Amino acid sequence: MADVKKGKLTFSERVLIEIGLYKEQSLKAIALELGRHPTSISREIQANRMEMPARYIRWNKCYKAAACKRTGVCKQPGCVIECRKCPEKKCTDYCNGYESAECSEVHYPPYVCNGCKKVKTCQKHRYFYSAKKAEALSNERRSESRKGIQLSEKELQDMDILISGLVKKGQPLSHIYLEHGNELPVSIRTVYNYIDSGELSIKSIDLRRKLRYKRRKKKNNHDRLDKQHCRQDRTYEDYQKYMVGRDENLVVEMDTVKGKREKGQCLLTMIFRKNSVMVLFLIPDGTAESVTRVFDYLETALGLEVFKRLFPVILTDNGSEFKHVIEMETTETMESRTQIFYCDPMASWQKPHIEKNHEFIRYVIPKGKSMGFLTNEKVIRLMNHINSVKRNALNGKSPYELMIEDRDMTALAELLHMEVISADEVHLKPDLLDD
């Protein structure tokens, strides 16, 4: 392997790799046939293989989860919810029957399932190598890495040789540009940008004095956000069109409240516009999987029809915890249960009710304070005190007083242990949550 080829793999070489994998050849044999190093073949396969997810349910990556009916694996007294649907704990952390849905063999050469004799019956998490797909992925990465550079490869290489060679001699970039500016196809500011982004051989540390430019703030990031799959047909503009002729009081606003900038417990909050009742859920982390578990829990405990009536339309922001939109909108059997829409970025005024009500939470849990001390009992206590506050906007009544005659809201109140706090006993200070 002394005279191995270097450089970018060609499409014909990728085709030979795919054929070799289906013939169950070793990576070393494929590399020998192509005149490449085996490490190059290994990197190519791992970088460009296609992923085929296993048929596990939602967040639960246990191979047996779809058919599992077990309860009580965490040994919590009185719990009757199926463990796979628990909104508080991950059953995979407690269950001795847990079996990963990912095949362990893909962690070792050849890293894919091409040629595997079990592939027709295997339902686990799998990977395949396709020459056509690998070529497309490689070209896409190459294109992305070159975005913003308006030079040909030859022009960029010539500029790199000139500038890097003189900088390594100790010359200031300003001096180089004054001397060779007419030879360079870009401005000095663009040269600094190329250095920052790693397009040239030299780095910022190689410059004796580097000019600092304040990075321009983007006016908005709508274009980037609107390309996200979850926002397709669910933007605020789509929401406004959808609500034409519909009652705004049907809308439920959703958000999260976090403590310190840390991973860990936080609050999922929802407010019903029709009565300003705000419900709080303690979730173990700010992930989309935790939010989905709350939806599954509510649907299971309330029943699908009650869930649909309570949560027909949900308006939320663009946080990563709300990206699993299909899982939130549908049941495990892919039956629709709600309609999700997203506010515009930096437009909290589009869901004003929940933003305003977060002030009550901050009276008790100031910004910057960790939420690691919270328990479900404390969250229920906080929720009850907040919803027992009388409001001028509600004609002097509290949110809880407005929900008494709503049968669906009464079912939700019973499930979440909502209790009216007498007006004089309402307490919204940090010591409310003292044990």
Encode pLDDT of 42-53 as tens digits: 999 999 999 887
* Conformation bin of residue 245: beta by default, left when phi > 0, alpha when psi is -120 to 50: left
Q: Tell me, what's the pLDDT at 196?
A: 81
Q: Tell me, what's the pLDDT at 303?
A: 95
- The tally of CA atoms less than 13 A away on the side-chain side of residue 67 is 4
Please determine, for residue 202, whether its predicted confidence score (pLDDT) is greater than 90: no
Most confident of 110-124, 172-186, 235-249: 235-249
For residue range 281-311, list pLDDT tens digits in order.
999 988 999 999 999 999 999 999 999 999 9
The Cα–Cα gap between 50 and 10 comes to 18
Task: Output the average pLDDT for the chain.
Answer: 86
Q: Tell me, what's the pLDDT at 387?
A: 93
For residue range 382-424, list pLDDT tens digits in order.
999 999 998 888 888 899 999 988 999 999 999 999 999 988 8
What residues have CB less than 8 Å from 232, skipping those under 6 apart? none
What is the CATH number that goes with domain 224-433? 3.30.420.10
If one compares 418 and 98, the residue with the highest pLDDT of the two is: 418
For residue range 325-369, list pLDDT tens digits in order.
999 999 988 899 999 999 998 888 999 999 999 999 998 999 889
- Region 100-125: what's the mean pLDDT? 84
Beta strands 251-257 and 313-316: pairing type?
parallel
Please determine, for residue 218, whether its predicted confidence score (pLDDT) is greater than 60: no
Please determine, for residue 67, whether its predicted confidence score (pLDDT) is greater than 60: yes
Sheet with 339-342, side-by-side order of all strands? 278-283, 266-272, 251-257, 313-316, 339-342
The Cα–Cα gap between 379 and 420 comes to 15
Helix axis angle, 153-167 to 188-196, nearest 10°: 90
Q: Tell me, what's the pLDDT at 48?
A: 94
- Region 17-40: what's the mean pLDDT? 93
- Region 313-317: what's the mean pLDDT? 96
How large a percentage of the chain has pLDDT more than 70? 91
Beta strands 266-272 and 313-316: pairing type?
unpaired
Rounded alpha-carbon distances, angstroms, from residue 260 to 144, 148, 257, 424: 34, 36, 10, 32
Please determine, for residue 213, whether its predicted confidence score (pLDDT) is greater than 50: no
Q: Tell me, what's the pLDDT at 211?
A: 45
The Cα–Cα gap between 277 and 360 comes to 12
Q: Tell me, what's the pLDDT at 329?
A: 94
Residue 142 tokens read as 């190459």
The residues spanned by each domain of the chain are 11-141, 153-206, 224-433
Q: Three-state DSSP class for 253?
A: strand
How confident is residue 212, by pLDDT bands cut at 50, 70 and 90?
very low
